[in-house]
Every structure is written in structure tokens, then in C-alpha cells.
Amino acid sequence: HTAYRRQRQMCIRDSVRGVRSGHVYAKAVATHMGKTMQLWQISITDDDDKLVSSCKLTTLSLSRKK
């Protein structure tokens, strides 16, 4: 029996600069991995390793009521 879960997410994003050419790279680091809540810090950089954007992501998973 698989438990169904409700999920909620919230992301707070701050843009630092734009990128018109080249590549962007994202790195996500879990800062908290609880039973129902996860906190992530996401950094997006360009080819020169300059910060383009930063995001704090919170996820919440709750058991569905029967």
C-alpha cells in the first residue's frame, strides 16, 4: 500500500544579473532534510561562475487524510 501525500512548495528567488549568451548552471544544496519538510538553497551561475540568481526552496509533504 502506497501512502498518498499532499505537497506544497514555496520558492523565494532573487535575480542578480541577466545572461544573454553562454550557459547557466544550477547547484541545489539541501540545508534541511526533515521527515515532512525540506529546505534547499539553489544558486544559478554563468560560464564565468558569477552569480545570476539565488533561490530558497521549501517543500512540505503531508499525509493525506483518509
Structural contact between residues 53 and 45, judged by C-beta atoms closer than 8 angstroms: no
Which pTM value belongs to this model? Answer: 0.77
Site of grid cell 487524510:
65
Residues 48-64: tens digit of each pLDDT: 999 999 999 999 888 77
The confidence score (pLDDT) of residue 7 equals 79
Residues 19-39: tens digit of each pLDDT: 999 999 999 999 999 988 999
